[in-house]
Chain A
Amino acid sequence: MYVYDEYDQQIIDQRVAQYRDQTKRYLAGKITDEQFLPLRLQNGLYVQRLAPMLRIAVPYGTLNSTQLRKLAEISRHYDKGYAHISTRQNVQLNWPKLEEVPDILAELAKVQMHAVQTSGNCIRNVTADQFSGVAADEVEDARPWCEIIRQWSTFHPEFAFLPRKFKIAVCGSETDRAAVMVHDIGLQIVKDDNGDTAFRVLVGGGLGRTPVIGSVIHEQLPPRHLLTYLEAILRVYNQLGRRDNKFKARIKILVRAMGAEAFKAKVEEEWAHIKDSALELSDEEIARAKSFFTAPEYRDLPAQDMQALALESADFARWLNHNVHPHKQTGYAIATLSLKTTGVAPGDITAEQLEAVAALGEEFGFGEIRSTHQQNLVLPDVPQHQLFALWQKLVELELASPTVGTLNDIICCPGGDFCSLANAKSIPIAEAIQRRFDDLDYLYDLGEIELNISGCMNACGHHHIGHIGILGVDKKGQEFYQVSLGGSQGLNASLGKILGPSFAQDDIPDVIEKVLNTYVDLRQEGERFLDTYNRVGLDPFKERAYA
């Protein structure tokens, strides 16, 4: 994992001082609300329905045990003793006090954390595959590149007042776990014709009000050009992106209006000026970034017979099947800690659990923990022979719900319970669905299904790319829900289609049940929900749901 040197630390410390001064001037009435808005947003501070919300950056979803302990301490001291993992791998506090935020930032800076650019119309915290560096199907580790991008985008002087927010995601494996197709810029690491690392560059993807799949504007960008190319894209967007209408201001609208080819031509024109500038990455810098992400001291462990392990107990076997993924190192496994226990808001974690996970990270790994955009945590380096011991501890901690990848591993934004932009609540919908489908055998029989819920068009819950998506809408002041089917993430991402008129809150579990029954009736051998949907289309589901 990346470790700050004196430069990084100094920059973060000076940021705390800068924000402390801004807060002081704001409270003294020297900065207006309107002026303070982007300043606080660029430091992750929203003012929400009930209290401010502070979004703490977890660059590309990587954390260590020390940081988790600090988060636990902060959530106890400055908040209500719990934190929330967001759909962008960040950590959110729901109840901080505006005047205490500088102190929270100072505490975070002690463990090399911050809230820089987690919100606002700037380049946001870069995200990556949560299994980077350990996934069995990896082309190349995305994290060194993410760190290079993090540094370039941190306090970039030119791009702090963009038309709209700007999100970059990097994926280093064949299975895209970073949703690169639906980001403002998606970078997929590929091998070029000579077998060297290159980036496939996508622009203009996005969810929100106008969901779009990104367009490829470079098939094989050599790594040394990474930052100059990104800078050229941002420069074009900063000048030409629409600023007259907030809903048309994302880069996807610009790319669509110009056409991907014309946009690319503009980028290349800007790029020509800076391609060979000092910003071109040096071999030393690439090597330096990579040196922080070398493999930990893995022991020489024999591969375990996972089927034999599963014989320990039926409950353990379920967890093993659903929450454990293959590791590239023989004898090791990747374990996902579910934050989807029914009755708890998806992604929420208490201070005690955070501390316990910090300890587990050290006991069953190298003190590293990942956060995922599915709002779970991951222990990336668990020796296979210790999986049973780990599972027993997770059960006690209520972090072992064996439902990763099933219908109940719901992605859900904070919604109307917290968010002032919401049209409708989302957490109670997630809970109602989890309660209705609490039979594990039924869930497993349904197989892989992604159900995503957003409380409004802003789509923080990524409802467009859920196999089943639920969106809160406002119908004459009442909370209603629109259901869509057939969305998917990954390199063949697709956007869901709306089933029909929206439903009342109480009807949602029934509607989902009808949709699932349709699938069960129509599926052919081996078909996942998405496959059946793709084969039969929307109509059979629609007929049943509105019957």
Chain B
Amino acid sequence: MPKIIKDAQVQDDNWVLWRDSETLPDSAPVIVPLNLYLAHREALAKLGEVGVMLASDESPKALPADTLASLPVIAIDFPKFADGRGFSYARELREQHSYQGEIRAVGDIIRDQLFFMSRCGFSSFALPGDELEEALASLNDFSEVYQPDTRQSLPLFRRRSA
């Protein structure tokens, strides 16, 4: 079974990432592109557990508000690791839509992004390559931060003065 970093551990992963945006998959659990999801919500629901993938130019604002909370996983795609839009999307999902499910970083990500990604609300990382155990260390590059984020609700200046 494929492995993934999830909740700060290396775990088995049974989600299939279905990047084809034209044809429907035939089994679940599966993560599908947003437009496929929007076009075939009911058919997909019959398959079983379905997650949605946002492309790097698809803001969470495009997700239907009525189903957002019930999605088990939202994947955010990084076509290039230096395309940082997904960092804002993850924060928006957590902070503006109060999304509680799994947010997964997929695509061309690198381990040196894990710390910032986890602060922005990502909870799993489909990191290419096989050095996942080593990569866990990057989740804890820093033990103190200045800004509030999804892991730390208060900025340092509010904790300093306390």
Contact = CB atoms under 8 A, between A and B. Distances in A.
29 contacts: A5-B160, A11-B146, A14-B143, A14-B144, A18-B141, A31-B112, A35-B112, A151-B157, A152-B146, A152-B147, A155-B145, A155-B146, A156-B147, A157-B120, A157-B145, A158-B84, A160-B87, A160-B113, A160-B116, A161-B81, A161-B113, A238-B85, A238-B87, A279-B155, A285-B158, A285-B160, A285-B161, A288-B157, A288-B161
B116 A157 contact: yes
Interface string B131-162: 10000000001111111110001111110110
B153 A278 contact: yes
A22 B138 CA distance: 10
A121 interface: yes
Q: Is the interface of B mostly helix, strand, loop or mixed?
A: loop
A128 to B, nearest CB: 19
Nearest to B162: A284
B160 to A, nearest CB: 7
B119 interface: yes
B95 interface: yes
Contacts of A162: 84
Interface string A16-28: 0010001000000
A390 B129 CA distance: 61
Interface in B67-114: 81-85, 87-89, 91, 95-96, 110, 112-113
A476 interface: no
A158 B157 contact: no
A238 B84 contact: yes
B35 interface: no
A10 interface: yes
Nearest to B89: A239
A291 to B, nearest CB: 12
Nearest to B82: A161
Contacts of B157: 151, 281-282, 284-285, 288
Interface residues of A, number: 40
A7 B156 contact: yes
A150 to B, nearest CB: 9
Contacts of B142: 11, 14-15, 18, 155
A157 B85 contact: no
A37 to B, nearest CB: 8
A38 interface: yes
B141 A278 contact: no
A317 interface: no
Given A158-B88, A239-B85, A279-B148, A151 B156 contact: yes
A23 to B, nearest CB: 12
Contacts of B154: 278
A14 B117 CA distance: 18
Given A277-B148, A278-B153, A282-B161, 6 more contacts: A5-B160, A157-B145, A158-B84, A161-B87, A238-B85, A278-B148
Query: Is the interface on chain B under 10, 10 to 19, 20 to 34, or 35 or more residues?
Result: 35 or more
Contact of B87 (A31, A38, A159): A159
Contacts of B112: 22, 31, 35, 39
B145 A35 contact: no
Contacts of A156: 146-147
Given A152-B146, A239-B59, A284-B161, A273 B84 contact: no
A353 interface: no
Contact of B144 (A11, A227, A279): A11
A165 interface: no
Looking at A39, A160, A162, the one whose CB has the most chain B CB atoms below 10 A away is A160
Contacts of B82: 38, 121, 161
A243 interface: yes
Contacts of B87: 157-161, 238
Name, among B88, B115, B156, B161, the residue most crowded by chain A CB atoms within 10 Å (CB to CB).
B88
A334 to B, nearest CB: 31
A278 B143 contact: no
Nearest to B119: A157
B37 to A, nearest CB: 21
A154 interface: yes
Contacts of B83: 161, 243
A279 B95 contact: no
A38 B87 CA distance: 16
A281 B158 CA distance: 9
B96 A273 contact: yes
Contacts of A18: 141-142
Contact of B160 (A7, A11, A39): A7
B91 A158 contact: yes
A235 interface: yes
Contacts of A121: 82, 84
Given A161-B84, A282-B161, A285-B157, A154 B146 contact: yes
Contacts of A288: 157, 160-161
B52 to A, nearest CB: 18
Contacts of A274: 95
A25 to B, nearest CB: 9
